[in-house]
Amino acid sequence: MSRLLLVPLEDVVVFPTMNLTLTVDVGDEQRVLLVPRHESAFASVGTVADVSDRVRLPGGGRAVVLNGLHRGVAGAAHTAPDGRLYVEVEDHPDDEPVDGRTRELEREYRAVVEELLELRGDDGRIQAFVRAISEPGTLADTAGYSPDISFEQKVELLETLDVTERLALAVKLQRERLAELQVRRRIREDVESGAERQQREWFLRRQMDSIRKELGEDDASVVEEYRAKIEAAGMPEAVREQAEKELGRLERMGEQSGEASMIRSYLDWLIAVPWSRRSQERLDPVHAREVLDRDHAGLEDVKERIAEYLAVRKLRAERGLDVSRAGDRNRSPSRDVTASGAILTLIGPPGTGKTSIGESIARATGREFVRMSLGGVRDEAEIRGHRRTYIGALPGRLVRALRDAGTMNPVIMLDEVDKVGADWRGDPSAALLEVLDPAQNHSFRDHYLDVELDLSHVLFIATANVAETIPGPLLDRMEVIRFDGYTTAEKVAIARGYLWPRQLERNGLRPEEASISDELLQTVVTEYTREAGVRQLERELGTLLRKAATGIASGRVTAPVQLDLDAVREALGRQKHFQEAAIRTAVPGVATGLAVTGTGGDVLFVEAVRMPGERKDALVLTGQLGDVMKESARIALSYVRGHAEELGVPDGATDGEFHVHVPAGAIPKDGPSAGVTMVTALASLLSGRPVRHTVGMTGEVTLQGRVLPIGGVKQKVLAAHAAGLTDVILPERNRGDLDDVPADVREQMTFHFAMSVDEVLAVALEPARAHAAA
């Protein structure tokens, strides 16, 4: 413990090994304690310094040269008679730890300092100074030389007496400084590179302007080029005025303006629309029918509608009734029906040819064909386009379709219109209301182009699988043509005329290298497919021909290959679909019903059993039945109980619990048309009379036993025909719907029309005598 003169340093920190000159009078003292001070607050640790020299300054002042020795902890203070402040000082020279952590911190500190000096552009002298320091305490004190470390951080470093901890603190401070310098360097480099890039772009643009002037391609020539394109586009007057207005803006702004590219894009889209170009229609209904018959089997409704459309157009053209709307601007749009294009909606199961017939219609009418897939579209801007205020705005799909077609009267197919969605961005189906309304689509306005487009010459064909998901107002604007599927004979004809040749080509086979009989085609249709369309049938034929192609390519067989039943079984495996009505209905309590699904018509079985129980009104329903179908089952049970005597049901047979099940329990089912099937199953169960295995039925039933009409007659009859049923029971009021059923199917089946349940049971149930004898 020593007694030293205290020399306060205002906002200055002196570390050991530092040399400095102070203009203070220390008298005859040889050692002093240099203590940092900030606003009258002293640090607890100072630096013990030797007075190595005394200097007299001009004017009579005094100065001393001090050399820092080591740290000293200040203790009690005393004031001398001459007013000087002395303190008791505990000397605290640095020790030299030899542990591994200190050595690791030394290496890290040196590395950080070297990186710092490199960023600052040191010439190597400071790095040499740092390398020459061997004591860890002195090395840590070099952080005090940094001008970027604050007074408080230097005081903290001075007051850290433990050498290892001080070295760790110095590493932390220098790392923070290094990170700050690196960020500053990156910012400086980014700014410099940005400035250089702008200068380079400016220089290159000036060169480009000079080159374009020499070639005669300056702004004036670009504007003239656009003006010539606008003249040649044949735009309506209002559209031309808008185009010239935008062209004038481009001319005033010049190519250097930031908005110039947006104006050029807008003008490019205006010019891309085929305002004055139209396909030369072939108004020949006979030729159109020949083309449609050649491309598609069946589909009589849509073929007749296209023939009618062309016949009407032909008559109006021959009699001078087709006057263009542009030629008579005083005509009321609502009265001008001459230019209205047809809007057809084809609704039916998948694979029935809805999409492919659009191309055939375009070819038959001599128009261009464009397909717009709307499945999953949820943004209204997909139809109407984005407003030009948005970055990257584009016209809607209709404008793009007209551009792709190159004419204003193409055939545009709106595919999967029933799968259009809606969310916070808007409802695309609402935008389609104007497009598909003949009274409005002559003045359709795209948000991007913001000019009127005449869509009245377009032939729109929409496709959908179900009508229930199409909004009512949109469906009201459509002329619906239903595709109810193909008969077995039609599928065989399609397979022979279309699918088989296409699969031969896809599998690399010539027509003479593989052949199949119509009988085998019918076997594939009935035993390996159960669908309204022909997609699965085409896949099965593709499998057959791949097997044949593999055999020919590997040399196992030689062409030509005649496919037989064994080859079909080997390629397609065991039979997948069976005529099981006879097996299912062999016991009382099972009836065969007819239903319509999203993939066409189908056959379903209704099974009923009676169980002893105390509750007389208990009814168990299984098979994922909807609410309407559950009500039909309760109505059927109530009717059978109320008419037990008429139905020949023994006394007491209607007591107990009943269980009604509709198989294929994984598939949800609903609708009222299974009412007569449920009544028949319960009546069969309680009377002991099985249902005839050749009979299928459909119809809604009431508590009074009346049979009400239902929908989907054609699809249900086709499903019954495919399942091998020969008798179909239908409501009397559905008699007229048989006209939609193909004639060959009507000839092969017997139809029974019923007004009441009694008439249904008379046909459906086996006679009581025959059952008793059996």
Residue 67, beta-bridge partner list: 19, 50
Closest of 513, 465, 467 to residue 485, by C-alpha = 465
Which among 354, 491, 547, 716 is annotated as catalytic?
A: 716
The whole-angstrom separation of Cα 634 and Cα 622 is 13
How far is residue 206 CA from its own chain's centroid?
Answer: 45
CA-wise closest residue to 457 among 471, 438, 478, 473: 438
Q: How far apart are CA 647 and CA 674, in angstroms?
A: 20
Based on the number of CB atoms within 10 Å of its own CB, is 203 exposed (0-12), middle (13-18) or buried (19 or more)?
exposed
Tokens matching residue 316: 């109006």
Distances (CA, A) of 264 to 72, 154, 253, 646: 79, 63, 12, 84
What is the residue-wise DSSP string for 118-182? HHHT--SHHHHHHHH---HHHHHHGGGG-TTS-HHHHHHHHH--SHHHHHHHHHHHHHHHHHHHH
Decide if 669 contacts 596 (C-beta within 8 A). Answer: no
Q: CA 287 → CA 226, 244, 325, 363, 462, distances in Å?
A: 42, 44, 28, 10, 23
Specify the DSSP element, H or E, that contains 605: strand 600-611
- DSSP string spanning 361-372? HHHHHT--EEEE
* Contacts with 557 (C-beta within 8 Å, 6 or more apart), sequence order: 548, 551
Residue 421's alpha-carbon distances to 242, 382, 400, 598, in angstroms, are 34, 12, 21, 19
- Output the six-digit token pair for 437: 């309304």
Of 632, 673, 684, 687, which is the active-site residue? 673
700 vs 706: CA distance, rounded Å:
8
- With tokens 């005509």, the residue in question is 331
500 contacts: CB under 8 Å, gap ≥ 6: 516, 521, 541
Between CA 21 and CA 63 the distance in angstroms is: 7
**Closest C-alpha to 592, from 661, 733, 699, 694:** 694
E strands within 499-579?
Answer: 514-515, 561-562
* 716: annotated active-site residue: yes
The one-letter amino acid code at 710 reads I
Q: Which residues pair with 62 in a beta bridge?
A: 56
Tokens read off for 671: 């609708």
Cα 675–chain centre separation: 41
Q: Is the peptide bond before 511 cis (omega within 30 degrees of 0)?
A: no
Active site residue 714: no
Catalytic residues: 673, 716
